[in-house]
Amino acid sequence: MITVLTLFEAYTKPTRFKKASVNRRAEYSVWILPVGTERDGDIDDVLARDGIRVLERVSEQEAERCAEGIRRKFKTAGVEAKKELLCND
Neighbours of 32 (CB within 10 A): 18
Q: For 36-64, how does the pLDDT look when each residue is reduced to its tens digit (9 = 90+)?
A: 666 667 787 888 888 999 999 999 999 99
What are the residue ranges spanned by the domains of the chain?
2-14+21-87
Burial of 26 (0-12, 13-18, 19+ CB in 10 A): exposed
Q: For 6-20, how does the pLDDT look when each residue is reduced to its tens digit (9 = 90+)?
A: 999 888 777 788 887
Residue type, 23: N
Global confidence as pTM: 0.84
